[in-house]
């Protein structure tokens, strides 16, 4: 038809011509399938229910042979077969409502044209996709429906059979009643009644057993069906919803598996409860199955099921195919359950043992010392703490570090030291985690020691600061004080600001540096500091003695036969400790006495002895002469050491600095450290650049002219203790070798004659002879290297990390001692000195130690010990102070004096 027909539902063109088709609203041209396909926009369905007319055209603009009516691909799946349809007649103005969907090639353009249908067409407005979705969803319900139908039908047939049996029994009973006149018939009637009763009972039991059997069968089949069709359950639940959700849904299997995984991970007893539920289910399910195939009661069947689960051999006496199959199944399930139970118990025991072995259990202690961290100083620190706790029968030391518990215990056992009753408990954990801190009872410790890590100074101090922040975050609060080991003096104010009054800091580099300077200026002072800082000999103690209130300090000085008073803690000045106070100071109420004693329970005040008071020889301190000192190496706090030397040395002294740092960078580093180079009055800095382990570099230095040589642990090797000690030892040997070759010839001859019998060690003897010409102080960090240097005796004094460990142990036992050590290490105020005997007595004069103490008070000094001329070790706090003896001018005394 060439003419165009109009109808109420739309516009239909002839077969060969498309005459003015209406332009659809919001329609877009849809190309074929491919990557360049553009999305389409469609109008929502209105109440009038509009259909869509698709007109297919070719790219060559040739008219199509016919018109195809179909729904677009996003509403119903397309078919690959093209179905031609009949064009409507002239009398029918509506397009056909049944339209097949032809396939569109990529070379075709599909135009979507809306078509308004009539009122009769709107009744069939449901999309075909909904029908297909219904069919797809219904096929998943078909297996369940079949099972239910067959189950119901089987139960119906079984009930019908049982009903016929009951009717048969009733008929037999009625027939037997008619023959009641004879004895035999009566007897048969009685038997039939009994049989009827038994039959009725059997009917009831048979019905129950049948229900039990069907329940067992359905229960066995259901898991397989659920496993297969579990993912379709959400679609079945949303069956009434006709619109498909756009968001992607997670399969139900994955959600169930995830829920079970989370349950087992979060709840520690979930596995045990699951096993208990499985056991109860197996017993109940097995009892139900036994009841269905056996003649026993349900209670007896449950008991048999339990016996089969508990003991797999109990089913051996079972008779019958059905009971045997059920009993074997129950026994197999019981073996599986008990295997799982054994595995859970084994895992629980293994986990507990591993927790104990790895140090994850909680420490239940009080008044213990807690050490946080691990370093090379730990061995010496544990040794000093064990000696300190010897008087109380031993204590408890807890170590928390980020190492394995077994490794820590093995390293501690290698110390080969008797801890004298002190228990060392190791735990693995991080001091930065509050849970690990609570695990070691941090709130109940009487002292906490934070060790510096084996890193560079900045990283170590940053970690110490974080540990202090963690300690301040403990909700229960801290009972004891915190001793923090720092590596850089510049970081001390920040740590004290964060920690507050509970924090006591010990700067390792600062302590070693100041001790090296004091020992270089006063030979023999290193051994004295080792005796005082450690707990093996005499050490500082502070204690109150009310019976001494009202006495002058001059009398208090003679009141302790087993101790030497050194100062007073003044209560009226807020607990300020005054070292070497004036003789006329009168002890007030609350004042405490600072003494040097063997132990805290070995001294007490006694009666004041009668002491002859004499006068000291009129000898003044000799004037200080300029000194020439050499620094080998570069430390990060070398600017502080220079400031200490500036305070100790007289004018015109020289400090030679020999290291690998370029000379142009040294001034910048010293200035950044806070040193005013232009303001140095007593010191003159002389710079030399070179490597201290290369002999030709050392030979360019006038090594025989230096009064003291300090071999410093270089900053570049501060991360490695072994390399630092190896470098210091090599430098020491090279310097002693060069000095021995530059000695005068007469000294060399006398040395070789004296040790003629030891020719194999003549090189060491020459270096020992050179040690009398100049003092060398080596900074050795490892105690094992220190022992090697001490045995060879080619270096006068060696300072190591052991001194820092001693200081940490003292401050941990009593934090007040830190203020005493700070004043003794400072360049101003009181210090520990070695003075010759001629300052206090005449040669070969016979005096007791009390008399020497009284004479030293005339010089405002406190004598704490002495060293005789023919001995190598000094005696601090002598025991027999009232016993007189002869003294020589070659003897020396150890005093606490003020340099102000």
CATH number of the CATH domain containing 867: 3.30.70.1450
Output the DSSP codes for 345-412.
Answer: HHHHHHHHHHHHHTT-SPP--SS-EEEES--TTHHHHHHHHHHHTGGGT--EEEEEESS-HHHHHHHH
Domain final residue pick, 322, 356, 390 = 356
CB 397 within 8 A of CB 408: no
CATH of the domain at 373: 3.40.50.720
482 — phi, psi (to 5°)? -115, 125
d(CA 519, CA 796): 10
What's the total number of domains in the chain? 3
CATH of the domain at 303: 1.10.287.70
Does 348 share its domain with 409?
Answer: no
Does 210 share its domain with 281?
Answer: yes
CA distances from 669 to 317, 510, 511, 676, 688 (A): 95, 17, 21, 11, 16
Q: Which domain holds residue 478?
A: 359-501
Tell me, what's the pLDDT at 111? 41
Does 452 share its domain with 327?
Answer: no
Residue 476 lies in a domain: yes
Does 385 share its domain with 445?
Answer: yes
Helix, strand, coil abundance in the chain, percent, nearest 5? 45, 15, 40
Does 333 share its domain with 419?
Answer: no
Output the DSSP codes for 19-44.
Answer: --PPPPTT---B--SSTTPPP---PP
Which long-range contacts link 455-460 to residues 24+ away (Cβ below 8 Å)?
455/719, 456/487, 456/718, 456/719, 457/487, 457/488, 457/509, 457/636, 457/718, 458/488, 460/486, 460/487
CB 412 within 8 A of CB 382: yes
CB 390 within 8 A of CB 420: yes
Name which of 148, 292, 305 is nearest 216 in CA terms: 292
Tell me, what's the pLDDT at 863? 94
Q: Considering only the C-alpha atoms of the chain, give the largest distance between any 2 of them, rounded to a whole number of Å.
A: 158
Residue 35 lies in a domain: no
Residue 429 lies in a domain: yes
Does 367 share its domain with 489?
Answer: yes
Domain final residue pick, 444, 475, 501 = 501
Does 352 share its domain with 364?
Answer: no
Tell me, what's the pLDDT at 654? 93
Which residue ranges in the chain fall short of pLDDT 70? 1-148, 150-159, 176-214, 216-217, 219-250, 252-253, 356-357, 359, 743-773, 783-797, 899-900
Name which of 745, 738, 746, 727 is nearest 767 in CA terms: 738
Does 259 share its domain with 396?
Answer: no
Does 334 share its domain with 400?
Answer: no
Does 378 share its domain with 438?
Answer: yes
Helix or strand (DSSP H, E) at 813: helix 801-813
d(CA 74, CA 335): 56
Does 377 share its domain with 290?
Answer: no
Tell me, what's the pLDDT at 619? 75
Tell me, what's the pLDDT at 628? 92
For residue range 220-273, list pLDDT tens digits in order: 666 666 666 555 556 555 554 544 444 456 676 677 777 777 777 777 777 778
Domain final residue pick, 356, 378, 411 = 356
Tell me, what's the pLDDT at 68? 43
Q: Where are the beta strands (DSSP E) in 559-645?
A: 563-570, 576-579, 592-597, 628-632
Tell me, what's the pLDDT at 622? 76
Tell me, what's the pLDDT at 226? 61
Q: What is the pTM of this model?
A: 0.65
Does 274 share its domain with 363?
Answer: no
- Exposed e or buried b per residue across 148-162, where buried means at least 16 C-beta atoms within 10 angstroms of its C-beta: eeeeeeeeeebeeeb
């Amino acid at each position: 038809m060439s003419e165009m027909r109009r109808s109420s539902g739309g516009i239909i063109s002839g077969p060969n011509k498309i005459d003015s088709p209406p332009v659809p609203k919001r329609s877009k041209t849809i190309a074929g399938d491919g990557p360049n396909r553009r999305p389409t926009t469609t109008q929502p369905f209105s109440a009038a229910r509009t259909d869509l007319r698709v007109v297919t055209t070719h790219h060559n603009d040739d008219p199509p042979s016919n018109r195809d009516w179909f729904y677009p691909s996003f509403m119903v799946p397309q078919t690959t077969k093209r179905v031609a349809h009949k064009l409507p007649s002239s009398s029918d103005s509506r397009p056909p409502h049944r339209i097949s969907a032809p396939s569109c090639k990529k070379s075709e353009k599909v135009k979507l044209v809306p078509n308004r249908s009539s009122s009769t067409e709107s009744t069939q407005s449901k999309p075909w996709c909904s029908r297909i979705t219904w069919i797809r969803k219904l096929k998943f319900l078909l297996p369940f429906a079949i099972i239910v139908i067959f189950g119901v039908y089987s139960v119906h047939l079984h009930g019908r059979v049982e009903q016929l049996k009951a009717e048969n029994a009733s008929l037999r009973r009625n027939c037997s009643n008619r023959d009641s006149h004879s004895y035999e018939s009566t007897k048969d009637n009685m038997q039939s009644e009994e049989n009827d009763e038994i039959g009725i009972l059997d009917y009831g039991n048979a019905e129950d057993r049948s229900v039990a059997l069907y329940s067992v069968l359905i229960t066995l089949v259901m898991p397989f069906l659920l496993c297969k069709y579990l993912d379709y359950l959400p679609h079945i639940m949303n069956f009434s919803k006709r619109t498909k959700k756009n968001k992607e849904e997670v399969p139900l299997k994955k959600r169930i598996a995830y829920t079970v995984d989370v349950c087992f991970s979060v709840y520690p007893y979930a596995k045990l409860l699951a096993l208990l539920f499985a056991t109860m289910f197996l017993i109940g399910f097995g009892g139900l199955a036994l009841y269905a195939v056996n003649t026993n009661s349900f209670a007896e069947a449950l008991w048999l099921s339990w016996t089969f689960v508990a003991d797999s051999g109990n089913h051996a006496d079972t008779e019958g195919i059905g009971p045997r199959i059920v009993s074997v199944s129950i026994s197999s399930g019981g073996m599986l359950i008990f295997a799982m139970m054994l595995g859970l118990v084994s895992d629980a025991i293994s986990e507990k043992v591993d927790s104990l072995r790895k140090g994850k259990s909680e420490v239940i202690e009080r008044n213990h010392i807690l050490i946080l961290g691990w370093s090379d100083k730990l061995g010496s620190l544990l040794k000093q703490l064990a000696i300190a706790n010897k008087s109380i029968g031993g204590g408890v030391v807890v170590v928390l570090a980020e190492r394995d518990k077994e490794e820590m215990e093995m390293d501690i056992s290698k110390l080969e030291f008797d801890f004298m009753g002190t228990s060392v408990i190791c735990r693995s954990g991080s001091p930065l985690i509050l849970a690990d801190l609570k695990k070691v009872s941090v709130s109940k410790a009487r002292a906490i020691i934070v060790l510096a890590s084996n890193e560079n100074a900045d990283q170590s101090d940053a970690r110490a600061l974080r540990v202090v922040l963690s300690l301040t975050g403990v909700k229960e609060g801290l009972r004891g004080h915190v001793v923090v080991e720092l590596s850089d003096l510049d970081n001390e104010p920040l740590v004290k600001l964060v920690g507050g009054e509970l924090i006591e800091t010990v700067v390792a580099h600062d302590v070693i540096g100041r001790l090296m300077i004091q020992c270089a200026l006063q030979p023999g002072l290193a051994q004295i500091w080792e005796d005082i800082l450690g707990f093996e000999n005499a050490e500082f103690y502070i204690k109150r003695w009310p019976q001494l209130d009202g006495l002058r300090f001059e009398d208090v000085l003679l009141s302790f036969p087993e101790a030497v008073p050194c100062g007073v803690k003044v209560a009226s000045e807020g607990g300020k400790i005054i070292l070497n106070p004036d003789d006329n100071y009168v002890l007030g109420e609350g004042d405490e006495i600072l003494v040097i004693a063997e132990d805290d329970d070995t001294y007490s005040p006694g009666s004041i002895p009668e002491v002859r008071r004499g006068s000291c020889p009129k000898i003044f301190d000799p004037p200080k002469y300029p000194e020439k000192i050499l620094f080998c190496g570069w430390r990060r706090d070398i600017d502080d050491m220079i400031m200490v030397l500036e305070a100790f040395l007289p004018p015109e002294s020289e400090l030679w600095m020999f290291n690998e740092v370029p000379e142009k960078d040294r001034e910048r580093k010293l200035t950044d450290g806070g040193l005013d180079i232009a303001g140095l009055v007593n010191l003159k800095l002389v710079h030399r650049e070179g490597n201290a382990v290369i002999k030709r570099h050392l030979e360019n230095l006038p090594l025989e002219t230096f009064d003291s040589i300090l071999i410093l642990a270089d900053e570049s090797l501060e991360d490695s203790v072994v390399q630092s000690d190896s470098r210091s030892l090599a430098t020491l040997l090279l310097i002693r070798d060069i000095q021995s070759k530059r000695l005068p010839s007469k000294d060399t001859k006398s040395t070789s004659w004296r040790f003629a019998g030891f020719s194999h060690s003549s090189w060491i003897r020459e270096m020992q002879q050179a040690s009398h010409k100049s003092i060398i102080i080596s900074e050795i960090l490892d105690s094992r290297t220190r022992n090697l240097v001490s045995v060879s005796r080619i270096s006068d004094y060696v300072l190591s990390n052991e001194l820092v460990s001693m200081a940490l142990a003292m401050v941990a036992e009593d934090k007040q001692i830190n203020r005493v050590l700070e004043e003794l290490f400072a360049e101003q105020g009181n210090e520990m000195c070695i003075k010759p005997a001629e300052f206090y007595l005449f040669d070969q004069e016979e005096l007791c130690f009390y008399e020497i103490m009284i004479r030293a008070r005339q010089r405002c000094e406190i004598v704490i010990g002495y060293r005789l001329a023919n001995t190598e070790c000094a005696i601090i706090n002598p025991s027999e102070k009232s016993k007189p003896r002869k003294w020589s001018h070659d003897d020396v005394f150890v005093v606490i004096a003020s340099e102000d």
